[in-house]
Structure 1
Amino acid sequence: MSPLIEIRNARKKFMGTPVLDGITLSIEAGERIAMLGPNGAGKTTLVRSMLGFYHLDEGEIRVMGKDPIRDRVEVLRHIGFIPQLPPPVKLSLDELLMYIERSTGTPKGAVIAQAERMALDVKQHASKPFFKLSGGMKQKLLIAIALARRSRLFVFDEPTASLDPKARELFYRLLSDLDYDYSAIYITHRLEELEGLINRKIYMELGKVVEDEPIAT
């Protein structure tokens, strides 16, 4: 059976500076990975390359056997992505949830239910543009959308950076309560918060993987 994600000799430069320096990784279905490392280590660039945001200079990436550039729509159909910085979406919450429902088949009510579990009352803010929400409210809604879609793979880039301690606790409780097999990649500086949720740790530095080890759960 093919790996969920296969990365071979991935190289990427920005303005002549190597950001990914020959990374080779294999990620199997069911793995839940904490991706660690200092700012500038290449973590976000690697993940965004998996999602088809960036073209590699060298090497290749396959996600579920597909090219994330050429087959991007198909790849993203199975992935719930929470960026560190929410996009400046001008749609109201009601319009956004209608768009999600039509484009992914995720029922609006399922998103609202997940948002309520994150202590976000979507109905109260239904007419408000997404970009005018607070950072924490944006993050809660993006988390609710990803979880409601029941994605096969979650990719979280510092998902709790804008959340207060109570909201972080709710987020991790929701993940613990998921009732199906999923894979996840967490870009994080808070390894201790992921205890019990991850089974592998990858540490990056200067565009390279310098540590990769399983974690007992």
Structure 2
Amino acid sequence: MIELAHVSRSFGSFRAVDDISFSIRTGEIVGLLGPNGAGKTTTMRMITGFLTPDEGTITIDGRDIREDERDSKRKIGYMPESAPLYGDMIVEDYLNYVASMQGVNAAERVPFLCRTCGLSEVMHKNIAELSRGYRQRVGLAHALMNDPEILILDEPTSGLDPNQIGEVRNLIKELGKTRTVIISTHILGEVEMLCGRVIIISHGKIAADSPTSELASRYMRSASVSVIAAAPSQKELIQEVEKLSGNGTAAAFDVPYAETLLNGKSGIYGVRVSVDADKEIRPDIAKNVSEKGWALYELSLQRNSLEDVFRTLTTGGEA
């Protein structure tokens, strides 16, 4: 288990991390989110022992990392956003070199990591010649060299193409079955796919700490209902939708296919209204539109996404 208790870190007069506390159980895959400069990378570097907290304690399996620095570091594999690789070395030589530096049996570990990280096709290529996707894989192999219990990944899919992103995500999922994984990323869809829990940091403080599946319901208060219908006027459709929503305010939006359906005549309108997240008004809208003899083309509910949660918690905007 990793545990941070009242941890702070400043750089000059700038307080990058401000009295944060959380714990991560063995076997969790946790997403660490926040805007640029929020304190994510500083937090990860303190967990690895690269930076020392000004205040507070960080323990791994109950032992303060400052009191048992070498043993704590042996339990951690860290891949920074831009993995520091030697471009003039071929991949196999580089991994053998890392193994020797860490006192690992290269003859056993390097072939295993070659298979695990999908490096078979590039083992005899110079690192400088590799695509960004393969360089990320080499960096991941480096982080896994000493078979760490904890894997910390800073923007692991940054700059990759869609195929490479899918491959790296699948690899992280597999690795997460046997170890604790902390992922820092700006790709919120990635967090939803990979992480069972999300910690959001804003201005050096924890803004949210929740299971990913519960984040929206815990922190969001609203959703939106979109209606596309043929009505006598947009004003009448807006009035009807607002009446059914309670205290919501409806807004019009353009319907691209309206003119096609009506052969150039106007009459198909789109209206979107905010509602309480737990309020369901779609059946009432469908019933009323039908009773008025209006044609209903679309009716949909859009619940707030993780992106909306992130924006609300890090900017103070309305959910």
Q: Place the TM-score, normalised by the shorter chain, in its bin.
A: 0.7 to 0.9
Partner of 1:122: 122
Q: Which of 1 and 2 has greater Rg?
A: 2
The answer on 1:96 being equivalent to 2:70 is no
Structure 1 residue 179: Cα displacement = 8.2
Q: Structure 1 residue aligned with 2:56, among 48, 53, 59?
A: 59
Q: Is the 8 A contact 2:9 2:54 kept in 1?
A: yes
Letter in 1 for 2:34: G
Letter in 2 for 1:109: P
Q: Is the 8 A contact 1:115 1:122 kept in 2?
A: no
Q: SS in structure 2 opposite 1:26?
A: strand
Letter in 1 for 2:33: L
Identical-residue share of aligned pairs (%): 32
Residues 19, 152 of structure 1: alpha-carbon distance in 2 compared, 3 angstrom cutoff: same
Residues 163, 30 of structure 1: alpha-carbon distance in 2 compared, 3 angstrom cutoff: same
Q: Structure 2 matches for 1:111-190, cutoff 5 A?
A: 111-116=113-118, 121-125=121-125, 128=126, 130=127, 133-147=130-144, 150-178=147-175, 180-190=177-187
Structure 1 residue 70: Cα displacement = 4.2
Q: Is the 8 A contact 2:197 2:211 kept in 1?
A: yes
Partner of 1:197: 194
Structure 1 residue 30: Cα displacement = 1.9
Residues 173, 67 of structure 1: alpha-carbon distance in 2 compared, 3 angstrom cutoff: same
Partner of 1:34: 31
Letter in 1 for 2:122: V
Structure 1 residue 91: Cα displacement = 6.6
Residues 169, 149 of structure 1: alpha-carbon distance in 2 compared, 3 angstrom cutoff: farther
CA distance in 2, matches of 1:183, 1:215: 16
Higher relative contact order (CA 8 A, sep 6+): 1
Q: SS in structure 1 opposite 2:194?
A: coil
Q: SS in structure 1 opposite 2:99?
A: helix
Describe the superposition over 1:42-94 as per-residue Cα deviations: whole angstroms up to 9, x where unpaired: 00000100001111111111122333344333222222211102115367223
CA distance in 1, matches of 2:13, 2:129: 37
Q: SS in structure 1 opposite 2:117?
A: helix
CA distance in 2, matches of 1:132, 1:14: 37
Letter in 1 for 2:155: E
* Range 193-202 or range 173-182, more displaced: 173-182
Structure 1 residue 176: Cα displacement = 2.9
Partner of 1:6: 3
CA distance in 2, matches of 1:179, 1:59: 28
RMSD, matched Cα: 2.5
Residues 64, 132 of structure 1: alpha-carbon distance in 2 compared, 3 angstrom cutoff: farther
CA distance in 1, matches of 2:129, 2:65: 31
Structure 1 residue 143: Cα displacement = 1.9
CA distance in 2, matches of 1:177, 1:56: 32
Partner of 1:109: 111
Structure 1 residue 147: Cα displacement = 4.8
Query: When you count helix as a share of all residues, which structure comes out higher?
Result: 2
